[in-house]
Amino acid sequence: MHEEPTRAPLAEGGTPGGGDETALVRLSVSKIAQKAQLLEPGRTAAVLVIPAGRDRPAPMAANVTLEMPEAIQGARRLTLFDRMTEDAIGNMMEERGAAGDFATTPEAVFRQMHGLPQNATVSKASADMVNASMERLASTWITIDCKEHLQAARGTRIAGRFSHLAVKCNVITARLAEARTRRGREIRVWKIAELPRIYAYSKAVRQMAAFPRAALAGKRQSPQIAAMRYFVLQQMPRIRHKRNGPDTPDITYAAVFEATGDELATRSTACGRVKRSQRKRDLWAILDSLEECGVIKAWREAGKAARGQFAGVRITPAPTRDIIEPEEE
C-alpha cells in the first residue's frame, strides 16, 4: 500500500462515498467518450471505434466534429472534468427515470461526480467549477456520424434505409435559471431537456461500464485527482480484456498526464520531476482505494522508462463480473 497524498477536500460535511455505496453508477466508455478531450473545435476527427457485441466487428471510423464559441470559458476543448459532469447528469436522470425536463443544481452534480452523500456541503468554488462546465457543455455542438457504429452495435436496419446518418446537437440541451434570495444566497437551477449527447451515444452503442458508487469517492479530492480517477475507471473494460504481456503496463504514467492535461508532470525539469512524483502518488492512492472497494484485485508498477523508472502500472481487475458490466439496453 502506498502513502495517501495530502489534499484539501473540495467538499465538506458527510463522508465521501456516503449513502448507498453499493449502488451502481455508469460511465461512458465508448472511444468517442474517451477521445472527447482530444478533439479540436472546428475540425472533423475520424475516431476509431470498436463496436460492442459478441462478434467483435472490425474497428471502424466515426467522424466527430465539435463546434465551440470563441468566447467560451476556459480551454476551448472538452476536458475530463466536462466528461465527468456529463456522465453525472446522465446517471442522475436515469436514476430518477427522467427522460427530459430534469431539474438539478451544480451542487447536486458535484456530489454525484464524487460519490458524496446528498447532505454534503459543496464549496462555492466547486459549484462554480461545475456550473462553468455545464455552461461549456451547453454551448458546445457535437456532430457524430454514427450510422455504421449503430448498425454494428445494435443490428438495426439503418444501413438499408440511409446512406448517411449523423446526429448534431448540444452536448447538453439545457436552460439555466439564476436567482438570489433577499439574504444574498445565490441559487442556480438547470433544466436538462434530454440525456447528455455523448452519454446517450455511448448507451446507444452499448459501451457503458458500471461501478459501485464508492469507486467515485476518495479520502482526498481535487479536480486533478478526480480526473485521474475517472480516467482509470474508463480504462477498466479494456484492461479486463487485455492481451498484452505480463510486464507491460495497462496504464502508462504518460497516458495519465496527457489525458488529464498535466503538462508540468511531463517536463524534464526539477519542478517537472517533483510534480511527476506527486501525481504518481496520487494515482497509487486512487488504485489503493479502488482495491479497497472491490473494483480491482491488485496493482503494481510495470514497464521500463528512462533512468530505470517504471513506465506505468499493471492492474489485476476484480474477478467478479458484477463490478463492471456492459449496459444491456
From CA 247, how far away is CA 177, in angstroms rounded?
Answer: 53
* 14 has pLDDT over 60: no
Q: Is residue 322 part of a domain?
A: yes
271 is in which domain, residue-wise?
A: 1-27+208-329
Is 172 domain-assigned? no
* 318 located within any domain: yes
Predicted confidence band at 64 (pLDDT cuts at 50, 70, 90)?
very high
pLDDT reported for residue 21:
58
Cell of 73: 470559458
pLDDT of residue 49: 80
pLDDT of residue 55: 60
Pick the residue with more confidence: 11 or 185? 185
User: Looking at residue 17, what is its pLDDT?
Assistant: 36
Q: For residue range 309-328, what is the model confidence (pLDDT) as tens digits?
A: 899 999 999 875 544 444 43
Please enumerate in sequence order all residues whose Cβ is within 8 A of that of 236, keeping only pairs 6 or more positions apart, or say none.
Answer: 209, 211, 295, 296, 315, 317, 324
Whether the CB-CB separation of 262 and 279 falls below 8 Å is answered with yes
Question: Mind listing the pLDDT tens digit for each residue in 37-57?
Answer: 889 998 999 888 876 655 656
Which of 58-72, 93-107, 140-154, 172-186 is predicted with the least confidence, judged by mean pLDDT?
Answer: 140-154
Residue 2: its pLDDT value, please? Answer: 43
Does residue 93 form part of some domain? Answer: no
What's the grid cell of residue 297? 484485485
Residue 8: per-residue pLDDT: 33
Higher pLDDT, 2 or 86: 86
pLDDT of residue 127: 95
Q: Mind spelling out the 3-state secondary structure of the chain?
A: CCCCCCCCCCEECCCCCCCCCCCEEEEECCHHHHHHHHCCCCCEEEEEECCCCCCCCCCEEEEEEEECCCCCCCCCCCCHHHHHHHHHHHHHHHHCCCCCCEEECHHHHHHHHCCCCCCCEECHHHHHHHHHHHHHHHHCEEEEECHHHHHHHHCCCHHHHCCCCEEEEECCCEEEEEEECCCCCEEEEEEECCCCHHHHHHHHCCCEEEEEHHHHCCCCCCHHHHHHHHHHHHHHHHHHCCCCCCCCCCEEHHHHHHHHCCHHHHCCCHHHHHHHHHHHHHHHHHHHHHHHCCCEEEEEEEEECHHHCEEEEEEEECCCCCCCCECCC
**In the numeric block, which cell numbers belong to residue 60?**
471502424
pLDDT: which is higher, 17 or 90? 90
Does the residue 268 lie in any domain? yes
Q: Measured between alpha carbons, how far is 42 from 68 in angstroms, rounded to an integer?
A: 8
Report CA-CA distances (Å) from 263 to 212, 244, 257, 283.
Answer: 31, 27, 7, 16
- Give pLDDT, residue 56: 59
What's the pLDDT at 219? Answer: 80
Assigned C-alpha cell, 164? 448517411
- 246-297 confidence digits (pLDDT tens): 789 999 999 999 888 888 888 888 998 899 999 999 999 999 999 999 999 9
Is residue 288 assigned to a domain? yes
Share the mean pLDDT of the chain.
83
146 occurs within a structural domain: no
pTM, 2 dp: 0.85
CB 62 within 8 A of CB 144: yes
At residue 10 the predicted structure's pLDDT band, cuts being 50, 70 and 90, is: very low
Does the pLDDT at position 103 exceed 90? yes
Domain assignment of residue 77, yes or no: no
**Mean pLDDT, range 22-42, rounded to an integer:** 89
Q: Note the pLDDT tens digit of each residue in 123-161.
A: 999 999 999 999 999 999 999 887 666 666 555 555 556
Residue with cell 440511409: 162
If one counts the domains in the chain, the total is 1
Asked if pLDDT for residue 67 goes beyond 70, the answer is yes
Task: List the single range of 65-74, 99-108, 188-197 with lowest mean pLDDT.
Answer: 65-74
Residue 54: what pLDDT? 56
Q: Which residue has the higher pLDDT, 60 or 214?
A: 214
pLDDT at 57: 62
**pLDDT given for residue 315 in this prediction:** 94
Residue type, 281: R
Q: Tell me: the pLDDT tens digits for 222-255?
A: 888 999 999 999 999 889 887 677 789 999 999 9
Strands of the 251-252 sheet, one edge to the other: 251-252, 310-317, 296-304
